[in-house]
Amino acid sequence: MASLTIRKLDDNVKTYLRLRSAKNRRSVEEEVRVILRELIEGREEPLTPFAVPPAASTAPTPQRTGAPPEASVTLIIGGGIAAYKSLDLIRRLKERRVEVRCVLTKAAQQFVTPLAVSALSHERVYTDLFDPQSEFDAGHIRLARDCDLVVVAPATADLMAKMANGHADDLASAILLATNRKVLLAPAMNPLMWNNAATRRNLAQLQRDGVALIGPNSGEMAEAGEAGIGRMSEAIEIANAAERLLRPPVPRPLAGKRVLITAGPTHEPIDPVRYIANRSSGKQGFAIAAAAQAAGAEVILVSGPVDLDDPQGVTVKHVESARQMLEQVQAALPADIAIFAAAVADWRVANEGDQKLKKTSAGMPPLQLVENPDILATISKLTDKRPPLVIGFAAETEHLIDNAKSKLARKGCDWIVANDVSPATGVMGGDRNTVHLISRKDGEIAVDSWPVMTKEQVAIELVAHIARSATEKPLEPAS
Ligand code: CTP
Would you place residue 25 in the very low, low, confident or very high pLDDT band (cuts 50, 70, 90)? low
Of the chain, the percentage scoring pLDDT greater than 90 comes to: 67
For residue 37, the Cα-to-chain-centroid distance in whole angstroms is 57
Spatial CA neighbour of 288 closest among 455, 471, 426 = 455
Of the chain, the percentage scoring pLDDT greater than 70 comes to: 86
Spatial CA neighbour of 267 closest among 349, 212, 165 = 349
Most distant pair of Cα atoms in the chain: their distance? 117
Phi/psi for 448 (5° steps) reads -115, 110
Question: Is the pLDDT at 41 greater than 70, yes or no?
Answer: no
The residue whose C-alpha atom lies closest to atom 17 belonging to ligand 1 is 394
Question: Is the pLDDT at 186 greater than 50, yes or no?
Answer: yes
2 in any annotated domain: no
Predicted local confidence at residue 147, as pLDDT: 95
Phi/psi for 130 (5° steps) reads -105, 25
Same domain, 92 and 239: yes
CA of 257 to the centre of ligand 1 (A): 25
Question: Is the pLDDT at 39 greater than 90, yes or no?
Answer: no
Question: Is the pLDDT at 32 greater than 50, yes or no?
Answer: yes
What is the C-alpha to C-alpha distance for residues 148 and 145, in angstroms, rounded to an integer?
Answer: 8
Same domain, 284 and 396: yes
Which CATH number goes with the domain that contains 306? 3.40.50.10300
Question: Is the pLDDT at 252 greater than 70, yes or no?
Answer: yes
Would you place residue 61 in the very low, low, confident or very high pLDDT band (cuts 50, 70, 90)? very low
Which CATH number goes with the domain that contains 143? 3.40.50.1950
Would you place residue 12 in the very low, low, confident or very high pLDDT band (cuts 50, 70, 90)? low
More confident residue, 358 or 103: 103
What is the C-alpha to C-alpha distance for residues 243 and 148, in angstroms, rounded to an integer?
Answer: 11
Mutate to test the pocket of ligand 1, among 346, 379, 416, 420 (most ligand atoms within 8 A of CB): 346
Mention every residue, 6+ apart, whose C-beta is less than 8 A from residue 89.
75, 151, 153, 235, 238, 239
Cα separation values, 447 from 129, 408, 454, Å: 62, 12, 20
Same domain, 279 and 322: yes
49 in any annotated domain: no
Boundaries of domain holding 189: 54-59+68-246
Atom of ligand 1 nearest to the CA of 322: 8
Annotated binding-site members for CTP: 346, 356, 373-376, 393, 407, 411
Classified as helix, coil or strand, 119 is helix
Would you place residue 34 in the very low, low, confident or very high pLDDT band (cuts 50, 70, 90)? confident
Annotated binding-site members: 346, 356, 373-376, 393, 407, 411
Q: Judge whether 278 counts as a catalytic residue.
A: yes
The amino acid occupying position 391 is: I
Number of domains in the chain: 3
Residues enclosing ligand 1, CB less than 6 A?
262, 322, 340, 342-344, 346, 372, 374-376, 392-395, 407
Atom of ligand 1 nearest to the CA of 375: 7
Same domain, 324 and 431: yes
Would you place residue 113 in the very low, low, confident or very high pLDDT band (cuts 50, 70, 90)? very high
For 351-362, write each residue's pLDDT tens digit.
888 899 888 888
Would you place residue 66 in the very low, low, confident or very high pLDDT band (cuts 50, 70, 90)? low
Would you place residue 142 in the very low, low, confident or very high pLDDT band (cuts 50, 70, 90)? confident
Catalytic-labelled residue, pool 190, 195, 240, 278: 278
Same domain, 395 and 329: yes
Q: What is the mean pLDDT of residues 244-253?
A: 87
Question: Is the pLDDT at 56 greater than 70, yes or no?
Answer: no
Question: Is the pLDDT at 237 greater than 70, yes or no?
Answer: yes
What is the C-alpha to C-alpha distance for residues 157 and 88, in angstroms, rounded to an integer?
Answer: 22
Would you place residue 137 in the very low, low, confident or very high pLDDT band (cuts 50, 70, 90)? low
Spatial CA neighbour of 69 closest among 125, 140, 123, 108 = 123
What is the C-alpha to C-alpha distance for residues 402 and 408, in angstroms, rounded to an integer?
Answer: 10
Question: Residue 289 in contact with residue 302, Cβ under 8 Å?
Answer: no
Same domain, 133 and 242: yes
The amino acid occupying position 91 is: R
CA of 159 to the centre of ligand 1 (A): 67
What is the C-alpha to C-alpha distance for residues 71 and 195, in angstroms, rounded to an integer?
Answer: 34
DSSP characters over 2-59:
----GGGS-HHHHHHHHHHHHHTT--HHHHHHHHHHHHHHT-PPPPPTTSPPHHHHHS
